[in-house]
Amino acid sequence: MILASLCLLSAPLPALIPAPERYVPLAGTFELDSKTVIVATGDAKPVGDRLREFLRPATGFELPVTGIPKNRAIELRIENQDVSLGAEGYRLVSTPEGITITAPKPAGLFYGVQSLRQLLPTQIFDKKKDTGLHWTAPACQIIDKPSFGWRGMHLDVSRHFYDVKFIKEYIDWLAVHKMNTFHWHLVDDGGWRIEIKKYPKLTQIGAWREKQKAEWSYSGLIFPGKDSGKDLEGGFYTQDQVREIVKYAADRYITVVPEIEMPGHSTETLASYPELMCSPAKDVLDAYIKRTGNDYPSMVCAGKESTVEFFQNVLTEILQLFPSKFIHIGGDECPKDLWAVCPDCQARMQKEGLKNEEELQSYFIHRMDSWLANKGRRLLGWDEILEGGLAPGATVMSWRGIAGGIAAAKAGHDVVMSPTSHCYFDYPYTSISTEVVYGYDPIPGELTEEQGKHVLGAQANIWTEWISSPEEVETMMFPRAAALAEAVWTPFQRKDWADFSERLKTHYDRLDRLGIAYYVTAPTPISDVILLGDAAGVEFNKPDVPNSLVRYTIDGSEPTANSPAYSGAIRLSKPGVVRAATFRANGTKSATISVPVMLLNANDEPKVNGVIRRVIQGKFDKCPEPAAFASASARNVTEVSVTDLAGKDEFAVMYEGFVRIPEDGVYTFSLGSDDGSKMWLGDSIAIDNDGPHGYVEKRLRLQLKKGDYPFRVVMFEIDGAENLRLFAEGPGLTKSLIPASMLWSKE
């Protein structure tokens, strides 16, 4: 035991992701060849068959699965003696004479097989035969089990539809990373994606919406019907396809948890069955629909008994398709303003003694909770189901931070953690980096050990409002999904970011061979902005993805695979911009970053506290040029914010003045917006955060001397959340919204 402990401290861990609980290196290697057999019987045989299928494409070996022990075999065996391994743990022993994987349950054997695949050369993940390779695995002992029972990934197929082939690939990627839960978000405002035989209009109408001018908008959700002759987008899964996917996942020890959204996010439901809609005065309803720009409201009537019956009938068919213990009913972001003026909702509240509309939603959720409990299932919902009182058997998925999860766990309810701070993979990497995901601990420090047992685990979510292709899903998913896999599998005290980063370099090669279009980090400049004459020039750190190069341009054009390769400091003789991107060996590239080289001098003209703001109306898909604001009225403001424009769409705003630097030092400015924004220093663009998008924050860091420097911020808004924030950080100033003391103008 002492020797094993010393080995653990000194031996480098192979590129296993997630890292095992215990790894002990042994002498020698095991070599897989055409004479190797897989020994597996009984409950182990399906895993043996799966292993054979995993190994066949790259090796070309047709390995037999047998019950007869052989020398130099891979043996899979169910053993129940070690209860400490739980239902998903395993032991793997690799020696030159053979490999043995044992586990109390088949799931553990399957995870042991995933570790075996990663012990072999990365080419084992190729989809065609490789020749001339020695398929060797290091001799070692692995004792491993997961830290959490819920290790999940979510995919929203409502806003954008993904076909069966892609869903199976998605499940395969989860299996490689020992994830065990696929949360399938099938129903939302964007479309109804599952066949319900009792209600055929849900897919005849609710699965097909008119194509929007933008990639996605929460207004203009129109469902004219499949045969309307309109230009439509959408799709749905037949019940046979759902069964096929559920079985495919189960064969890989992954549970598919369906989400059927209610009582909010129901525009597509009401387009299909408008009788489920609230019935306030006609002028009130008409005004509401006109304001949203949609065909129908986004909430069903919670007061009608027919609404409850409708969703129970839907869930009856869902239960026949999904054997999962948990059924997700959404319950989030439900507007309640129509409920307040709906006679049916108000009558229900009076009958049930409900004080407000929050309690009405709680009543609705309670009805679903007790109905599911009677069917032997458990209700799962987003943390809004806490509002108005949590249903007795409900499990909370905490997304609005961790507060909902803490409250539910303290009240004795089970929790799945999925906070926006770490687990929203539709957020850009600039907001949630792979390192941030890796550092996540699902159990909040506020919980006692006993309360912490209610935290089932964690999952990441991929919402697809602005993600419309499989390649975009893959890019947003990886490598963050690999980091999450380790965060929920490997003991927290065993995690090491530097070690993970090193293993990830090999794992990138596996992702390449799996055909995953993972995210490539844009070049990291030594300094975000270079002032003209700076002796250092524009410099970049080494790319974190192996076999990649930084290529750049200095003429403002987009870097291509033929652009010069970065090899040292880039110096310009006049103000300009260096644009650079990371290129992988296969030709794919990262986002392009721009490093301004600017001439910037302090100015002693500013006299008035505050900056000048101008607002113009119009439809924009990028930031308008400053000249577009020339005729707009000006007003002096002491904050860079659009809080007073909340609820307004289709506008652009410009702030112009001087930023006062109180003392010499390194200053960081962070510009965040929803939609696009830009920041100028002098005549040069210093932060480019342009384009339609959700909230994205980008940073600028540079050395400045004391003084007042001209700056400008432009932001535009399409629709949705109106958000603009400019943060400052520097000597004696922690990161905070730029204070009024730093904002000045000439008049």
Tokens at 302, concatenated: 């919670």
Distance separating alpha carbons of residues 233 and 586, to the nearest angstrom: 32
Question: Side-chain half-sphere of 490: how many Cα atoms within 13 Å?
Answer: 26
In the block, which residue shows the tokens 């500013």?
A: 606
Contacts 24+ apart (CB under 8 A), 446-449: 446/406, 447/406, 447/409, 447/410
11 vs 13: CA distance, rounded Å: 6
- Please report how the helices 470-477 and 164-176 are oriented relative to each other, as an axis angle in degrees rounded to 10: 20
Selection from 453, 510, 445 nearest residue 481 by Cα: 510
Sign of torsion over alpha carbons 448, 451, 455, 456? positive
Contact 301, 342 (CB under 8 A): yes
Cross-strand partners of 160: none
Are 707 and 602 within 8 A, CB to CB? yes
Rounded Cα distance, 316 and 196, in Å: 10
Do 684 and 712 touch, CB atoms closer than 8 A?
no
In the numeric block, which tokens belong to residue 229? 């002759």
Place of tokens 């980096």: 433
For residue 540 the two structure tokens come to 């970049």
Specify the pairing of strand 255-262 against strand 232-234.
unpaired
d(CA 80, CA 43): 12
Which residues are annotated as catalytic?
Answer: 188, 265, 333
What distance in Å separates the CA atoms of residue 559 and residue 565, rounded to the nearest whole number? 10
HEC sequence for 615-642: EEECCCCCCCCHHHHCCCCCEEECCCCC
Token digits of residue 61: 């070996």
Q: 3-class secondary structure for 168-202?
A: HHHHHHHHHCCCCEEEEECEECCEECECCCCCCHH
Token pair belonging to 644: 């007073």
The strand pair at 548-553 and 378-382 is best described as: unpaired
Place of tokens 């949609």: 294
Burial of 180 per CB tally in 10 Å (0-12, 13-18, 19+) = buried
Rounded CA separation 341/238 (Å): 38
Residue 86 in tokens: 């739980």
Q: Please report how the helices 305-321 and 357-374 are oriented relative to each other, as an axis angle in degrees rounded to 10.
A: 40
Distance CA 206, CA 266 (A): 10
Dmax (CA) for the chain in angstroms is: 90
With tokens 């005729």, the residue in question is 631
Q: Nearest Cα to 245, choosing from 199, 182, 188, 197?
A: 182
Rounded CA gap, 632 and 614, in Å?
A: 6
Cα distances (angstroms) measured from residue 313 to each of 249, 316, 373, 577, 702? 25, 5, 15, 61, 61
CB–CB of 462/476 below 8 Å?
yes
CA distance linking residue 438 with residue 489, whole number of Å? 11
Q: How, if at all, do strands 576-584 and 723-730 pair?
A: unpaired
Residue type, 378: R
Q: Are 177 and 194 in contact (CB under 8 A)?
A: no
Question: How far apart are alpha carbons 288 and 337 in whole angstroms?
Answer: 9
